[in-house]
Amino acid sequence: MQAWAVLSNHYHFIAQAPENALTLEKLIKQTHSITTIEFNRLDAASGRQVWFNYWDTCITYERSYLARLHYVHHNPVKHGIVENAMDYPYCSYSWFLKNGDEAFQEQVFSQPIDKVNIVDDF
């Protein structure tokens, strides 16, 4: 896992792909199942469907990868949840700032995100 943002109605994550891409589908199904059970328990909403679908993309260009890292780190800001991603505890932004290499952070945050083509109008 390299970046993540979990919001109330969707999530994003960037991770290194497994050698066998079929295991990704299994991971997503298990994640959806486990989190749905827990969300329904917390909300006393037994049987409710929480996740409806998912998309995955194989990122093959370094600039696209860097721009998507930037995009995911700032997703809570994009959706107006917080003004500063550092204030949102359910994304990787603060972890990245504390643990990431400064030169790599600069590379990531210098990438524009306005042209990142991700379905994200929830």
Mean pLDDT of 73-77: 96
Kindly compute the dihedral angle of the four CA atoms of residues 71, 9, 91, 120, in this order, to the nearest 10 degrees.
0
pTM above 0.95, yes or no: no
Residues 47/40, Cβ–Cβ less than 8 Å: yes
Between 56 and 4, residue with greater pLDDT: 4
Q: Taking 90 as the threshold, does the pLDDT of residue 6 lie above it?
A: yes
**pLDDT at site 118:** 80
The C-alpha atoms of residue 102 and residue 63 are separated, in whole angstroms, by 17
Single-letter amino acid, residue 30: Q
Largest CA distance in the chain: 47
